Structures are given as C-alpha cells and as structure tokens.
Amino acid sequence: MKGVSLAHPITIVKGRNALLYDINGKEYVDFTSGIGVTSLGHANPELVKTVTEQLEKLWHTCFMVTNYPSCAELAEKLAKIAPGVSEKQVLFQNSGSEAVDNAIKIARQVTGRYYIVSYENSFHGRGAYGFALSATGKWKPYKVGFDPLPPGVELIPYPYCYRCPFKQEYPGCGLACLDYVKKWFINTRVPLERTAGFLIEVVQGEGGYVVAPLDYVRELKKFLEENNVLLIDDEVQAGWGRTGKLWAIENFGVEPDIMTTAKAIANGLPLSAVVGRKELMEKTHPGSFGGTYGGNPVSCAAALKVIEVMQRDRLPERAVELGEMVRKRLNELYEKYEIVGDVRGLGVMQAIELVKDRKTKEPASSETSKVIDKARDKGLLLLKAGLYHNVIRLHPPLTIEKEILEKGLDLLEESLKEVLKV
C-alpha cells in the first residue's frame, strides 16, 4: 500500500542486540531500534526465555474477562515506578496512539471539560484515528485527507528554541511562548475553565528530538496546577531510560497527572499504558474503558522482565554514559561540517539537524535523505525526523556495546563526508 512508507528497502531476518542481518547476510548497526522500541536489544535472551515460558502458560483471556498475574503485577509495578509521589493506577492498551486517545478520554471524562491543548510539531499517533491524530502537530503526511478529526484539540507553539516561532533567543526571551499562552491564547482561543489538560512530549520525538527548556516545563506545570488543568505527559518515545532517567519528565522534576507509555515497554511486543493519579482514575465511569487485547499476558510478562533488567543493569545511567559518547562525536561533526546546524538531545536520545546555511537555517532535507541512504549502504540504519525531514535522530538500544556504538558513529561521519564530498 502506497500510504505506508518504508525507511529502508531491505529485508531483515535476524537480530542480535544492536546488530541486524538482512536476507543476504549483510550486517547493519541498528540506530533505529524499530523507532525506539528494542531498547534491550534484538532477541534479548532473557526476554526470549520469559516470553517462551509465558506462551507455554497463557496467551489470552482478556483483562475485561478475568484477572491474570502478569497484568496485575505489571500494573502494580508501573504504578510504583511512575514519576512523582502520588498513588497511581494503570490502564493497558496496545499502541501509543491508543494510550494517548485514552489519556485524553480520561482527562475529559473526569474533569467534565472539553478542550485539550497540544503542541505544534508534536506527534501523538495516528493508528486509532482519534484524539491522538487531532493532537498531532504536523499536517503532512499524518493528517492529509482525514478531516474532520475529533474536535476540541487546539495546538500551541512548542518551545523549539532553534526555530523559535517568536524569533527570540532562549533564555533572554523570558519564555515568550509560554507568555503567549498565558496572556493571549487562553483569552482568545481556549478558556482555561473549559480545558481538561495540556498534552506534551517534554522531548519531542518525531518532531526531531527537541528538548523543552527546564524552566518551561516547570512553569507550565505551575500554571496548570494553579488553574486545575491536567498535565498529560506523552512518554511513548522518550520514556524507558532513553533520556538518562526512567521517564523523560523526571529530568524536569515535575509530576504529571497522567502519563502515556508504549514502544520500549515490552521491547517490541504490542503493549501500551496510561498511568494516572489514582484520584483521577477512580473517577472514571465503570465500563467506559477497555479493549480486547490490551494488557496481553505475554506482553505484560515481557514488560515485567524489561523493568527488572532496566533496574538491575541501571540502563538509564548507561544511557547517560552512552549519550556522552554520542554527544561528543556529534559536537565534533558540528565543528567540522557547516551542514550540521544543531546538535541536541537528552541522554542517548541525541540528534543533528542539517541545514543548507547556518544563518538562514534552510533545512537540508534532501541531503539528510542522502546521508541516511549512504549510511545504510555502509551498514548503519538511521531514522529521519523533524518538521522538514532534516533531522537525523539516533535510537541505539541501551544495551549496545560501546565498540558497536563507536562503529555506528564512524559510519555516520563517513556517510556525511561522502555526501558532502569533503
């Protein structure tokens, strides 16, 4: 089907930690992790064992039909490790989009308020054709031809300091984008007393690894709390250790009211969750949430093992260490090649934004595609991101061997050099 794009026209048959092998036996260093999913590596032996054991015991009963241990244990665990101090409860779904849809449903139902405020240049999903797509702040390709989308979701500018929509410089701007929300947006577009929640990725994933300033997130939380508006934190891409903390929002010292998680939660088996403050979750209407497959026993067993390994092997701390290695190399690329306009990220979630000219910041979109294609030929898989498809984002597994990480970074530089013919 033409509507589905393919980043790399190759067929992968096997994987081992950070390496993938195609049908011809060619080896690739994987800096995609299936879009930030296989954080514990491909064919992780501990996960293979856990999943096999669970398959032999129980595949499915449906969490709306009976209880089963892996689901209950995982809900308890997630409630415990979620950011902040409040008591939490959990709703399981299958994908990130469904988690976001349900987070919005919860926010609307329990507050009795209509509006959700989301961000330009965000991505919250497309699968469920619901609120997640409404809340996504990029028109092409995600929203093309799908109107009308569910109403009541309004977008505001993200604090994307490299391309500030207000043409200001951080920190001298005094958070002009938040000022706009407080003084203009809520008076002209969306009244706070009718707003259920603000939905934010504190590090935008598909948007190109844009990290919100620390004071922006803290000020936003304060403002929402003062006005009884919920903070909904989308951790689908940035969660699970990638930013150096288990949850990206922990880097900001802020507790969300509701959080969504998916992707790396079960290292590739379909699973997502909404984790909300118990006080809110207890107010939901009986029977108004659910789904046949959410919280599948096999996915839940895998997720329990993911949590055990993350904590035992201190993978968030490893993400800091790996991130420092990556950042050093990306900074060197910035020093050597004019095309690298910005280097940014948190932990091992690092990216470069390519531009034709550092002053005008004209996006180098076609060069970005060429670098990614060249890298694949050389045995490195990369992913694009960003509004203008000019960001190369790195998503290595958190278990990647350091030599393999360096090899991948060498291949990235070689590819850049060859495309630029320098």
Ligand X SMILES: Cc1ncc(COP(=O)(O)O)c(C=O)c1O
Chain positions contacting ligand X, by CB under 6 A? 35, 95-97, 100, 123-125, 127, 201, 205-206, 234, 236-237, 262
83/205 with CB nearer ligand X: 205
- CB of 103 or CB of 419, closer to ligand X: 103
Which one, 249 or 416, has the nearer CB to ligand X? 249
Smallest distance from ligand X to CB 414, Å: 28
Shortest distance in whole angstroms from residue 260 CB to ligand X: 7
Report the residue count for the chain: 422
Give the nearest distance from C-beta 205 to ligand X in angstroms.
Answer: 4
Tell me the residue nearest to ligand X as measured from the CB. 96
**Strands of 19-22's sheet in order across:** 12-16, 19-22, 27-30, 380-381
* Closest approach of ligand X to the CB of residue 409, in Å: 23
Closest to ligand X by CB, 236 or 394:
236
In angstroms, what CA-CA distances link 212 with 30, 72, 207, 209?
27, 34, 12, 10
Between 130 and 297, CB nearer to ligand X: 130
Q: Quote the least distance from Cβ 417 to ligand X, whole Å.
A: 30
User: 206 vs 257, which CB is nearer to ligand X?
Assistant: 206
Nearer to ligand X among residue 32 and residue 237 (C-beta): 237
Residue with Cβ nearer ligand X (129 or 334): 129
Beta carbon of residue 334, minimum distance to ligand X (angstroms, whole number): 25
In the complex, least distance from residue 351 CB atom to ligand X, rounded to whole angstroms = 14
CA 180 → CA 157, 183, 188, 404, distances in Å?
Answer: 9, 5, 11, 45
In the bound complex, what is the minimum distance in angstroms from residue 346's beta carbon to ligand X? 14
Taking each helix axis from N to C terminus, what angle separates 45-57 and 297-312, rounded to the nearest 10 degrees? 150
Chain position carrying tokens 């118990």: 278
122-156 burial, b if ≥16 CB within 10 A, otherwise e? bbbbbebebbbbbbbbbeeebeeeeeebeebbebb
| CB of residue 244 to ligand X, shortest distance in Å | 17
At 251, list the tokens.
Answer: 């880097």
Q: Which is nearer to ligand X, 123 or 160 (CB)?
A: 123
The CA R_g of the chain, rounded to the nearest whole Å, is 21
For the sheet with 195-200, list strands across it. 88-93, 272-277, 258-261, 230-234, 195-200, 115-119, 153-156
Measured from the CB of residue 377, what is the shortest distance to ligand X in angstroms? 26
- Minimum distance of ligand X from residue 254's CB (angstroms): 17
The residue (of 33 and 368) whose beta carbon lies closer to ligand X is 33
Q: Measured from the CB atom, is 96 or 363 closer to ligand X? A: 96
| CB within 8 Å of 359: residues ≥ 6 apart | none
Token pair for 97 = 């989009």
